[in-house]
Each structure stands twice: as C-alpha cells, then as structure tokens.
Amino acid sequence: MADEGQKWTQFYAAARVCTPSRAALMTGRYPIRNGMTSGKRAVLFPDSGGGLPPEEVTLAELLKQKDYSTGAFGKWHLEHLP
C-alpha cells in the first residue's frame, strides 16, 4: 500500500482492551456507539452471548459496495455465536 500512496505510521486505539478496540476498527465507530462496551463486561469470552449488533455496518461491508475485497485475519471473535 505504501507504494500506492498509503502508509499508516500513527494511530490511536479506541479502547484499552481487545473486544471494543476491534469493534472500533471494524466499524469506524467508538465502542460505546457500536454496542461493544458495557460496565459489566468489556471483553467477549467463549461463553459470552451476542456480539457485534447485526444492524451495525462494518467498513468491510461499505467497501464491498464499492467492489473492494477485504479480509480480517487473526483473533476477530466479535460474532462467534449465531
């Protein structure tokens, strides 16, 4: 990407723990706005219910509308349950 004009060298994390910061990266919204933070539990675990709200639009979905292909690799368990 750097050869084509994009080089990202600095950024801020939207949260101090994984789940809300991943949701922020995927949606472009603060975790409090995308529903992925709460006073009870800030991180999703295998026994957690729910995930990213179904009505939340991800950046990948928006880019797909413009014929971009996207992928997320690594630990992105924001929708691990039906």
CA proximity to 19, closest of 81, 58, 59, 75:
75
17-68 pLDDT, tens digit each: 888 988 898 899 998 898 888 777 678 877 777 788 889 999 989 999 999 8
Radius of gyration over every alpha carbon of the chain, rounded to an integer in angstroms: 14
Alpha-carbon distance of 24 to 9, in angstroms, equals 18
Tell me: pLDDT of 3 over 90. Answer: no
pLDDT score at 79: 62
Query: What is the length of the chain?
Result: 82
Q: How far apart are CA 77 and CA 74, in angstroms?
A: 9
Residues tagged active-site: 18, 77
